[in-house]
Amino acid sequence: MRLIQHFIDGAATTTPPARLGDVYDPALGKVQAQVALGNAALLDEAVANAKAAQPAWAATNPQRRARVMFRFKELIEQHMDELAEMLSREHGKVIADSKGDIQRGLEVVEFVCGIPHLLKGEYTEGAGPGIDVYSMRQPIGIAAGITPFNFPAMIPLWMCAPAIATGNAFIIKPSERDPSVPVRLAELALEAGLPKGILNVVHGDKEMVDAILDHADIKAVSFVGSSDIAQYVYGRGAANGKRMQCMGGAKNHGIVMPDADMDQAVADIIGAAYGSAGERCMALPVVVPVGEETAVRLRGKLLTAIADLRVGIPTDPDAHYGPVVGAAHKAKIEHYIQMAVEEGAELVVDGRGLSLQGYEDGYFLGPTLLDRVTPDMQSYREEIFGPVLQIMRAKTFEEAVSYPTNHQYGNGVALFTRNGDFARAFAASVEVGMVGINVPIPVPVAYHSFGGWKRSGFGDLDQYGMDGIRFYTRTKKVTQRWPSGGAVLDQSFVIPTMG
């Protein structure tokens, strides 16, 4: 059986692992590979190699580092089909979704190709008599990323691209459910000219996560996962003096106003709710029609659109989405559907019990639609992370806005309307980190930053964009004064002023 090893110092490790984890094919429901699970000693090896390689990489001028990133970008593009097939085989996404996963990560690689400009500091001449002040951005040393199963290409690239472009060494700990793509990306980075030891991949479970959070030489950790784990990771890492950036769960809302383009809104909602089998933190699992007439029209059009959805294996070009990632996750989603019914929600479309011929053991779920969901329901308050859409009816615009504002999560939200006054008021007042106006999945482009509020994000800096550059660098401020013409500088025994 195929063994997925760690990637340290430019090569796969050869030592037989003490522990192994199973990697499943979600379409077949069968083990397709095993992944080595590391420990603190294995992490020490990765950190030692990173520590040896990082100073020379940091001393490499930004233009040369940018050339490596340009070449890395080209290699990812050349290997797009290979990477997408690898991703779909382990995650279950359809190929088109896998290519989108890779592309969104690739856009961050493109952004950091401008690293010579992004690293420029500030300069003030004559801040005081003969005094100039300037700042410089310097790498922090060694950083690590702990990434989730749902985006095995995009999120590792979001983290590692700005980290290595700014002169750091980086260690990725991917999800043990679909670990192959990050290893392949590390191989491509090496081919692009990245020195050995700068990008390493270690596999593992909680034992490896805790080792990362406790390691003295790892100065910063970026994490994406569920909110409870994000809070734990943030707390433990911060207690150990690390810079932390932890993204958690979500329960994103789409508010539909009576004046919305209903056909366009439904098309957007269907894709956002059921794409990638709902396994994304920017999915749209809750839709809030304003007014009963809006709710009736929306529900009717959703039913028509859901009937046209096709669930299939990842390589089916006509499938809209594939299986969920694993048996336990499928059971969790089914549990939430039953919970919603028991709480009083109306089960309009039941996606449980779906089976595909020849793939009866696969982790497939059909699209589910629940109506008349209320804020007190646990199935609403918590993240389901599957192909389940919940309808919450609101009488007024203000009531609709209160739902995402008062929710424990604050990742993304969308408003569907033709009214600019509503849109402006919504964007200004809603308590959510990323807002879409007639945009169902408002993931910012790579030169902005990604991050939610409340229990969707722990830490002060967001992912990628300029926040990503700031997260992986330290700003050093220099105040300098030079003698002029041999003159003796006045001595001062007080804090100097510039005026």
- Pairwise CA distance, residues 43 & 214, whole Å: 11
Amino acid at 389: L
Task: Return the bridge partners of 481, or none.
Answer: 131
Element (H, E) at 71: helix 62-78
Element (H, E) at 112: helix 95-112
Q: How far apart are the first and last CA of the chain?
A: 72
User: Does 113 participate in catalysis according to the annotation?
Assistant: no
Question: Taking the CA atoms of the chain, what radius of gyration do you get in angstroms?
Answer: 25
Distances 313 to 99, 350, 425 between C-alpha atoms, Å: 15, 20, 43
Q: 255 near 436, Cβ under 8 Å? A: no
Is beta strand 286-289 parallel, antiparallel or unpaired with respect to 220-224? unpaired
Distances 160 to 179, 223, 405, 420, 421 between C-alpha atoms, Å: 15, 12, 32, 39, 40
Chain centroid to Cα 28, Å, comes to 27
Strand, coil or helix: what is 222? strand
> Could you list the active site residues?
281
